[in-house]
Amino acid sequence: MCHPAVFAAVSAVGSLAGGVVQAQGMRQQADAQAKSEERRAQLADRQKEINQTQASFERRRTLEGLDKVLGNNRAAGAERGLSETGSLSDVADDNAYEAAHQIEAIRYRAEGQRDNLTFEAASARERARSSRRAGRIGAAGAILGGVTSAFTTLGNAYYKMADPAGSPSGSTR
């Protein structure tokens, strides 16, 4: 039969190994979570670029539409013998005013989306940093728990070997 000290040593080594394995698992889990958050931030950054491109396209399309309407109005006015002053000019001004409002709305919406995505990306990056910090803290805790368990096991074994009768320390019979 094995000596109790061997059992204690094996138990202590097992406690240490368990703490190290648990710590490694915590670090890997935290790292995976952090990478996921970093990918989320990258996606938000890409979406910002897409939204800006789309907003530019919408603004350009609005201006092209305005040019087309103004051209049609000029052609219709010329066909009827109207000059480019008076009511025809007022219609052109109204169309330009409406197009300017549409462009401003597009810009405002794009800025709002950009700001939201910037915030989302920054939040995801902060969650990634937090996850990594939590992983390091959890890993340190798991290792400390393994070390504490190992020392407790060794201390109990030493106590039992030092006092095989099981009497409380310091008492005499």
Predicted confidence at residue 138, as pLDDT, reads 87
| Least confidently predicted of 2-6, 107-111, 112-116, 144-148 | 2-6
- Measured distance CA(55)–CA(108) in Å, rounded: 10
Predicted confidence at residue 173, as pLDDT, reads 44
CB atoms within 10 A of CB 96: 14
Average pLDDT rounded to a whole number, residues 8-12: 77
Give tens-digit pLDDT for 35-84: 999 999 999 999 999 999 999 999 999 989 888 888 887 777 777 776 66
Predicted confidence at residue 57, as pLDDT, reads 92
Q: How far is CA 153 from the centre of its chain?
A: 42
The secondary structure element, H or E, covering residue 65 is helix 4-79
- Determine if the pTM surpasses 0.95: no
Give tens-digit pLDDT for 115-169: 999 999 999 999 999 998 888 888 888 888 888 888 888 778 777 777 766 555 5
Give tens-digit pLDDT for 75-102: 777 777 766 666 777 778 888 888 899 9
